[in-house]
Structures are given as structure tokens and as C-alpha cells.
Structure 1
Amino acid sequence: MDDTNQQNNMEEINEQITGFWAYLTGQELWFTIGTGFLRVIIILILALTIVRVTRSLVDRLFKKRGKGRIRITERRENTLKKLIKNVIAYVVYFIAFIMILDNVLGFNVGALLAGAGVAGLAIGFGAQNLVRDIISGFFIIFEDQFSVGDYVAVGGIEGTVEEIGLRTTKVLSWTGEMNILPNGNVTQVTNYSVHNGLSIVDVNIPYESNVNDAERAIEKIVEELPQKYEFIVGIPEVIGVQNLEVSHFVIRVIADTLPGFQWAGERNIRKEIQNELYNAGIKIPAPRIVMYTGDEREKLLEKKQEREQE
């Protein structure tokens, strides 16, 4: 009996191995795999094609929009274009993923989505920061707080906005670092690209020079600056004497510049004024130290006492 049972078990194992091998080498399995693989490729190709076509349509739409009566600024246009393209890509790829699960892998998508909805509700209570980031990103775009290409100071970081998403914002620092900020952390924004900038330049003039002569020389210099530098808007204004220091007085010059060019304006105004004043014989004042010997000090103290007694 034992030998018969063992022989039957061996035969059953051999039959299972033979059946499994026949299944692996059969045409039906490979036909199913090939068909499923082909469906995945077709779905991915369709998704990529739809994304590219919609992106080109978005570009054309904004070009036609720019020629119409209702126009938006270039900075806001770049922001909206990138956001719309990203949203379309997310939606198309998500639909493609669902189609692969349903048509290729045979999952019950309805039950899967229902379970995902319940799980998403549970996760949502713990993902408050994610919800806050998305809501903040929506209001950043809706209120046009800043746009792609703007130079901003936000969250302790200063730089150029490279991309605005619903969850994060990318800011490129002038030293090359790419900073990624959650939109929920954007609580205060300083945008340097909305209105014209103001360059403020203080020029130190030694007391040996005449105030009127120095002002006339500076006014002659600044009249030519708008022709040399396109980012300087209008002729800079010489305000006059701003401060009286120990060894010099200070003449202040202000100039309107294009948005974001106030620092470049200050650098170039200083350079031009310094060169011209040097050529006119007006030198930069230097600190002065007056030294007295012991005898001279006593004589000065005696004279001071005599004046006080008088």
C-alpha cells in the first residue's frame, strides 16, 4: 500500500510539473503576455501623444490670447502655461494608469477606486500639510502674488522663480542653488518684479569741494545715464546734501529703474559718478587723524580755560 501511494504521489507531481511546463511553453500564455504588453505600449504612446498635442494647443492658445483684446502679463502667462501643462500631464497619466490596471491587468477598478477613496479620506486627516500646500498654491496663482521669472524674497530665500506648482515653488538663487519651498510655508513675499525699482546712491564729497560745484557736476553726469543704460528710466534726480559727516558731506542721487534692476542701477551710477568726479578733480574723502604733542595739548587746554573764564 505504501509503495502504491508513493507511486501515485509521484505520478501526480510529474503530471503537475508536466502541466506547468506545458502552460509555460504554450501559445496561450505568450499570446496573452504579448497582447497585454502591446496594449500597455499603445496606452503609453496615446498618453504621450495626448500630452504633447495638448501642450502645443496651450502654447497656441496663449499666442492667440496675446493678440486679442484681453491680455495678461508675460510673467503671469508663463506661470499659467506651466501650471496647465503640468495638470494635463498628471490627469492623462493617471487615466493611462487606470486603463492599464483595468484592461491589461484585469483589476476591478471600481472597487479599487472606492477603496482608494476611503483610504484617501483616512490619509487626508493626517496629511494636513499637503492640503495646506495645495490650497496655498491655488491662492498664490489666483491672486498673482508672484509668477515665473519674478525676482522675489520668500521664506528667507531670495532668487528668481523657476516654477510654481500646486504643492511646491522652485526658486533659483543668484548663486545657482535651486530652492524648493512648500507653498504652505509661503507666508510673506517680497516681489521685486512688479513695479519699477529705485536706485539710491550716496556720493561722499570732501569739505574742500564746493557743494554747488559738486551738484552741478553730478547733474551733468546723470543726464547721460538713460542713454547708456536701458534699465534706467528717466533722468536720475540729485536730491542734495543728505548728511554731514566728520570729513565729508553726502549728496544723494535717486533713479527709477526697470523692475529688478535697482541694484544694477546703483552699481553703474556709482561707477559713472566716480569716474567723472575723479576727472573733474573731486576726489573721494579720506579719514583724517590730527595728532598733538604733549606741549601743544597743554597750550590748547589753557586757551580753552581762558575762553571759559571770559
Structure 2
Amino acid sequence: MAEFWTSFTTALAPFDVPITIVFYILGAFVFRWILLKLIDRSVKQIVSGVKKKRGVTDTQALSVRSPLAAVRTVQRTRTIGSVLTNIVNVVVVVILVVMIIAKIDPGILASLSILSAAVGAGLGFGAQRIVGDVLNGLFMVMEDQLGVGDVIDMGEATGVVEKVGVRITQIRDVEGTLWFVRNGEIQRVGSFSQGWNRIVFDLAVPYETSRAHVERVMLQAAKELTEDPDWMDYFIGTPEMWGMESISSDAVVLRLTIRVRPGTRWEVERELRARTQDALKSAEINLPSLKAIVLDGADGQPTAGGTA
């Protein structure tokens, strides 16, 4: 038996390097699979736990029925899971390449270190940008600036965050365009998915129309919407009439605001406009021509009686 194993190992000696490389590759795939399974399982356990605790089955329902902290826990967990997955992929590939090179020729690593020192000055700027992208992406996730599923505004790109990578963040805008944004280039992030949103509804009415009457109609329409069982869960607080925002010889602009749950602003705003139109028709209040509307108030800023 000893002679058999000796002859067997002797016969395989010429294939030692290829066989070792194959084992390295298989080991890397197994190691990567185990880590990704652990990450995926941890993320699913946290998300499922939050959903089960809140009595919902999907994240969309969670965003309507659950406290904001629960929604952020789900979104942040998924984002961190995405980032960790990317890090695992990169680290495993780098380690695998280094091990294979070392097995083929240990002297190559020494040569590569010398070569890298020689070209380090030339690649320094590019490396700094890559490191900056990675660090900025990690800090954005750790500081909860954004998460997968968030609706954000980055200036050039506005939409839903689909993926947060080690170096790139992917955003899908309302037209379906997928934007790839380098994390190091992100200077500001406006989030529509944290805390609360405010609907700012401006309505231009004829100069001669009773302003108090129109305000009552607008406020009543908004209150009916907030009391509707199908919509009441979307709101945080009650409607506020901020009053006259601007005035001209043809029309006055009245402003009404409501706080809503994050990410629900647009659908609630559309429903509010539709109900306000029906209420105005019932009250026989006609609106001026679009050419007569002057929206020169301070957009987004409260007037007397409003709260920021």
C-alpha cells in the first residue's frame, strides 16, 4: 500500500500546480458561497423579524403600517447586506488571484511588489479616487444616508436606490433610466424616504373669489382625504392652511400643506388634487387661466401660521 501511494503521488507530481490551483478555485467558491449564505440569512432573519413583529408580509405594507424606525431597519439591513456581498466578492477574488500567483511562481509576487512601487506614483491618483469611492459608500450606509428602496435626489440623478455597491450606487429614475453614480462623487443626498414628507399644494384662484371660502373648501377636501379609511394611514398630522402665497391682478395663490409618511407624497398629492377639483366643482368655483397664475411665493417655506 505504501508503494502504491508513493507511485501515485510521484505520478501526480507534474500536475501539482494545476491541481492545487483547481482546489484553490473550488475552495474560494465554497468559502464565498458560505459567506454569502450567512449574509443573506442574517438579512432575511432581520427583515422577517421586523415584518412579523409588525404583522405585514411585504416591505411596501410595512412602510405604511409600521413606525418609521422599522422601515429604516429593513432598508438599512438590506443595504448593508448588499455592501457586504460586494466586499466578499472583491476580497475573495483578490485573495484567490494572489494565492494562484504564489503557487505558480513565488518570485512573481516579489517582482510585482517592486513593479507596483515603481508605478505607484502614476496610479496614486486613480487609487485615491477608488479608495474615496469605497470609503464614501461605507460611510453613507453606516450613517444611514440612503438605503436600498429609498427615493433620493442626488442632483443629477433622482429616483429609487436599487443597489449600493462598494464603489457605485445604482438609481432608477421615474422614466426607467438606471443611473450609475460613483460614491466618491456624491456631494449631497436628499432623501424622500426618511422621517416624513410634506405635501405643498398651491392653488391659484380668481382675484374676485372669496379667499376664505376657497380655503374652507380646500381644507375640507383635505380633511376628508385624511379621514378616508383607505388613505388615513398615509398621513402624519392634520392638514394646515398656510394662506395666501402670492397675489396678482388676475389671481391669488393659496397654499395648503400636509405631512405624510415617507415615500407616499406623490400618490397622496395626486389624490388630493383630484378631490380638490371635485370639491371646487361642487362649490362652483372656477379657476383662472394658466397664463394668469403667478407662483412667486417662497417655494417650500412656511408663511405666518405655518410650521417648518
Both structures adopt the same fold (TM-score exceeding 0.5)? yes
What amino acid maps onto 1:145 in structure 2? Q
Summarize the alignment of residues 154-169 of structure 1 with structure 2, pairs less than 5 Å apart: 154-169=154-169
Instruction: Report what 2:243 is aligned to.
Output: 240
Contact between 1:223 and 1:235, CA under 8 Å: does it hold in 2?
A: yes
Matched, 1:111 2:110: yes
Question: What is the rounded CA distance, in whole Å, between the counterparts of 1:115 and 1:186 in structure 2?
Answer: 35
Matched, 1:215 2:223: no
Question: What is the rounded CA distance, in whole Å, between the counterparts of 2:290 and 2:150 in structure 1?
Answer: 41
Q: 1:287 to 1:182 in 2, by over 3 A?
A: closer
| TM-score (norm. length: structure 2) | 0.69
1:271 deviation in Å? 1.5
Question: What is the rounded CA distance, in whole Å, between the counterparts of 2:258 and 2:85 in structure 1?
Answer: 40
Matched, 1:203 2:206: no
1:186 deviation in Å? 1.7
Query: Which structure has the larger Rg over C-alpha atoms?
Result: 1
SS in 2 for 1:51: helix
Instruction: Report what 1:274 is aligned to.
Output: 277
Q: 1:119 to 1:89 in 2, by over 3 A?
A: farther
Instruction: Report what 1:172 is aligned to.
Output: 172
Summarize the alignment of residues 1-310 of structure 1 with structure 2, pairs less than 5 Å apart: 38-64=19-45, 73-103=73-103, 105-108=104-107, 110-112=109-111, 114-115=113-114, 118-119=117-118, 121-127=120-126, 128-207=128-207, 209-226=209-226, 227=228, 228-229=230-231, 230-286=233-289
Q: Which moved more, 1:190-199 or 1:152-161?
A: 152-161
User: Larger relative contact order (C-alpha < 8 A, sep ≥ 6)?
Assistant: 2
Contact between 1:221 and 1:276, CA under 8 Å: does it hold in 2?
A: yes
SS in 1 for 2:252: strand
Question: What is the rounded CA distance, in whole Å, between the counterparts of 1:63 and 1:288 in structure 2?
Answer: 54
Q: 1:136 to 1:123 in 2, by over 3 A?
A: farther
Q: 1:171 to 1:288 in 2, by over 3 A?
A: closer
| TM-score (norm. length: structure 1) | 0.69
SS in 1 for 2:238: strand
Q: 1:65 to 1:173 in 2, by over 3 A?
A: closer
Identity within the alignment, %:
26
| Alignment root-mean-square deviation, CA | 3.5
The Cα offsets for residues 93-113 of structure 1, whole Å up to 9 and x where unpaired, read as 22222333344x344465256
What amino acid maps onto 1:253 in structure 2? L
What amino acid maps onto 2:149 in structure 1? G
> Where in structure 2 are there 5+ consecutive unaligned residues?
1-10, 51-68, 293-308
> Where in structure 1 are there 5+ consecutive unaligned residues?
1-29, 290-310
Instruction: Report what 2:5 is aligned to.
Output: none
SS in 2 for 1:204: strand
Query: Number of paired residues?
Result: 259
What amino acid maps onto 1:191 in structure 2? S
What amino acid maps onto 1:44 in structure 2? I
Q: 1:169 to 1:280 in 2, by over 3 A?
A: same
1:222 deviation in Å? 1.2
Contact between 1:169 and 1:181, CA under 8 Å: does it hold in 2?
A: yes
Question: What is the rounded CA distance, in whole Å, between the counterparts of 1:145 and 1:241 in structure 2?
Answer: 35
Question: What is the rounded CA distance, in whole Å, between the counterparts of 1:288 and 1:264 in structure 2?
Answer: 27
What amino acid maps onto 2:287 in structure 1? I
The Cα offsets for residues 245-304 of structure 1, whole Å up to 9 and x where unpaired, read as 323333321011222333333332112101221133222234899xxxxxxxxxxxxxxx
